[in-house]
Amino acid sequence: MQKKISSIPFSGTPEQEAKLKEAIAAHIDDPGAVMPVLQEAQEIYGYLPIEVQQMVAEGLNVPLEEVYGVSTFYSQFALSPKGKYNISVCLGTACYVKGSGDILNKLSELLGIDPEECTPDGQFSLTACRCIGACGLAPVLTVNDDVYGRLTVDQVEGIIDKYKNA
């Protein structure tokens, strides 16, 4: 799947930048430093916007395009930030045959975003994930650390409302 590029303005802090610089300094002499530095950058910022990737590119003296190529090849890297509430829908085999695809579509429709995107107000992000090992509860989704199982499409709106009003 093509990576979604966030349009939400970047809001990095000087502390985050200092941490990233440390990570770059720690890896600068390693061959293939791009991947570990990107991993640490994602730990620091939660995602990898152009501003962060440019710092990585400059710091490691590799072209931005090369950094971006790595960040779009591996599914673990995100170009979009996570919302205050990250809704993760399991698309593992058991959940999928039990209709989690429809649940994902409903969430997408209600939130007005595609999977791997974040709502403009930063409240909700949507992720399609692989099996989370709760097949007995299929279909299942998580909102941050809360787990919701044996779902039907018409329960979805109520779950979102709970967090909207939280």
- Interface residues with another protein (CB under 8 A) are 1-3, 5, 50, 53-54, 63-69, 72-73, 79
Q: Is the peptide bond before 139 cis (omega within 30 degrees of 0)?
A: yes
Nearer residue to another protein within complex by CB, 16 or 72: 72
Task: Compute the least distance from the CB of residue 66 to another protein, in Å.
Answer: 6
Asked if 111 contacts 125 with a C-beta cutoff of 8 angstroms, the reply is: no
Q: Which is nearer to another protein, 87 or 91 (CB)?
A: 91
H/E stretch holding 125 reads strand 124-129
CB closer to another protein, 59 vs 139: 59
- Closest contact distance (angstroms) between CB of 5 and another protein is 6
> Letter for the amino acid at 30?
D
Question: From the CB of 119, what's the least distance to another protein, in Å?
Answer: 20
Nearest to 89 by CA among 136, 42, 149: 149
